[in-house]
Structure 1
Amino acid sequence: MSFGIYAAGVIAGSRPFVYTRNNQPDGDIFEAAAVISALRAVSGPSGTVGRTMENVARGAVEAAADYVLPSEASLEREGIRGIARMVFLYTLNNMVTLLAMSSRAHQGWISVYTHQSRWLWADNVGFVSFGLGGRSEPGVEFIREVSPILSDTDMNNYGVLRTMSLALSEYHSRLDRTRPPMINIELFK
C-alpha cells in the first residue's frame, strides 16, 4: 500500500507553503520485496524459458510460508523495519522540537488529519491539533498525541513518520522566524 501527504501553512507574510507527495511507500515495502525474492529464487533465473508450473507453485508456497512463519530472513526484515521506525521517530521528534524552539512557537500549532478510504464500510478518519507552546518535550508529546489516529487509520509505520519528518523539515527551512509555526498535515490512503 502507499499513501499521500498534503501539508500547508504560511511561511512569510502571506506566502503559502505547500508540500504534496503521492504514492509514498509505507511499511508494506519489505513484504512485497520478500515475496518477489522468494519467487525468483525458486522459479529459476529470469529469462529461463523452461519454467514449469510446479516451480512457480513451489515458489508461491515458500514465499507464503516465509511471510507467515518466522524464518531468519523474516526476522531480519522485522529488525530492519524496527530500526527504520526508530530512526524516523527520532527525526520526527527533532523536527517538532525545532519548530517548538521558534521565537513565536507559543502561538504555533501542528494539525494532523488522517483519512483511510474503504470500499465496503465507512472511512476511518482522525484529527489532532497540537499546540507547540508550553511543552517540556514537544516532540515526544506530539508523537503520543498523533499515534492513536495513525493507528486507527493504519498509518502508524515508518513510511508515514519519514514523510511527516520531511514535510516538517521543508517547512522549518522556509519558515520566516518572525512568524509562529502553523502547519496543517493531511495524510490519506
Structure 2
Amino acid sequence: MCIPFQSIPPPTQGTKRAVQMLQLLGVSQFVVGLIKLFVLQQFSGFYDFFTLFILYMAWAQLNYCNCVIAVFYFLQNLLMIFIFFGMNVELDIEFFSPTRFGVTYFIFFFYYLGACYVAFLAYREFKVLQYDQMGGLIQTNQQNDWAQNNNEQQYNQQQAYYNQPAQAQPQQQAQRGGQFQAFQGRGVQIG
C-alpha cells in the first residue's frame, strides 16, 4: 500500500453517500483535533489527526476495516469523557460548572456518539459493497442451501441404514443365489 492511495470511485448511491458522510466526519475530526491542541492544550489532538488519516483511507479505498478502527477510536474517546465526568463526581466538583473542559467534553460527547454512528453506517455500506463484489448474498444463500440439503441427505441415509432389517447370514444367501454380493457396510457393532 503506497501513499497516495489509489482512490476508488464509489459505484453505488449508498457508497457515495457514505463517502460524503466520512468526508464531513473527516473535516469535523480535523476541527476537533485543533480544539484539543489549542483550546484544551492536550496532545491527544495528534491522535485525532491520525484518525483523520484512517478516515481518509476508508473513504478513498471504500475499506470497511478502517471504519471499524475509527469506531474503536471514537469509543475510546467516549470512555475518556466518561472517566472525566466520573472523576468530577468522585472529587465532588460541580457537575454542570461551565468550565472550559466541562463544556468542551460535553460537546465532544455528542460528537463522538454521532461519529460512531456515521462510521458504522459507512462500515455497513462498504461491507455490502464488498459482499456484492465477491458474489454476495446469492453465493452465500446457495452455499447455505447446499449445506442444508447435504445434511438432510446424510440424515436420510443414516436413518435408512439404522432402520434396515437385519439380514440373516448374507454370505449364505449369496452362495445360494450363485451371485457375488459385495460388503453391505454392516459389521459387528461393539457396545
TM-score under structure 2 length normalisation: 0.26
TM-score under structure 1 length normalisation: 0.26
Say which structure, 1 or 2, has more relative contact order (CA 8 Å, 6+ apart): 1
Q: Which has the larger radius of gyration?
A: 2
Structure in which a larger fraction of residues adopt strand: 1
